[in-house]
Structure 1
Amino acid sequence: MRKVILSLSILALSAGAVAAKPKLRDVPRIDDAVFDVAVADRIRKKCPSINPRVVKAYALYRETRKHARSLGYTDDEIEAYGDSDAEKARMRAKGEAYLRAQGVVAGDAQSYCAVGRKEIQKASRIGSLLKEK
């Protein structure tokens, strides 16, 4: 009986630990990587003289996904985060605010290009996902 109680206690504690896992949006390493990809993607779509570094973006995707798995997130949880319309809208708003703060003017492709070139020159993670044509 004592073993059964001990086993149930351990099971309850481990279930509590799984339930206590934060949302992926609250894991800075993951959310920051998604943010950087989103901003780089926005820049490359708006600036005609900047292309994406697809291999770098894919490597970051794989690294971020691997990290999420190492924290105990399932593939389904990772997919749900990536496919969530609410998360996409949140990331879009966050990215647009960042770009505005960097001097981007909506509808002005050259302002996106200027920010993209600045990110490339800084060798930021956003810049590492971009290249000039």
Structure 2
Amino acid sequence: MKLSLTLATLMIAAPALAADLPINKEPHINHILLQGFIGDAIADNCPALEPRKLRALGELNKLRAYAQEKGYSVAEIRAFVTSDTEKARGKAEAAEWLKAKGAEPGKEAEYCRIGREEIAKESLIGYLLRDTE
């Protein structure tokens, strides 16, 4: 799964309400997206773990609905999910989270260990991954 491709599902039209925060500051949206970026990084760096694309799509659809319920317009959602700056920020935050857990580029075993731990914990990150071994 490449989050940048599946994030496009957030762009489906819905009625607009007034949102309290800019979308890139909304804690729930950013937390869920961070889990996706972390899952992507794990899958990209651990050949034994694959992304669960249908599960990711389902989570993104829930997130899109949440954003719409919070009052974010289609234009705001589209701008957020297509922003190279926001994607870079998400990837950097994921890399920081993973580094704090011991994973850095070139440490394949650490990515695999973290991914398997997340699967065992049944976290959202783990829910988005499949162990092929």
Same fold (TM over 0.5): yes
Deviation at 1:67, TM superposition (A): 0.6
Is contact 2:45-2:105 (8 Å) kept? no
Bigger proportion of residues as helix: 1
Deviation at 1:74, TM superposition (A): 1.5
1:112 aligns with 2:97: no
Deviation at 1:106, TM superposition (A): 1.7
Secondary structure in structure 1 of the residue aligned to 2:102: coil
- What is the aligned partner in structure 1 of residue 33 from structure 2? 34
Over the aligned positions, Cα root-mean-square deviation in angstroms equals: 1.4
Identity level (%): 34
Secondary structure in structure 2 of the residue aligned to 1:72: coil
Give me the TM-score of the superposition, normalised by structure 2: 0.82
The gaps in structure 1 that reach 5 residues or longer are: 1-16
- What is the aligned partner in structure 2 of residue 127 from structure 1? 126
Deviation larger for 60-69 or 82-91: 82-91
Give me the TM-score of the superposition, normalised by structure 1: 0.82
CA distance in structure 1 between the partners assigned to 2:127 and 2:121 by the alignment = 9
Secondary structure in structure 2 of the residue aligned to 1:51: strand
The gaps in structure 2 that reach 5 residues or longer are: 1-16
Deviation at 1:107, TM superposition (A): 1.1
Secondary structure in structure 1 of the residue aligned to 2:65: helix
- What is the aligned partner in structure 1 of residue 57 from structure 2? 58
Deviation larger for 22-31 or 57-66: 22-31
| AA of the residue aligned to 2:124 | R
Deviating above 4 A after TM superposition, structure 1's stretches of 4 or more consecutive aligned residues are none
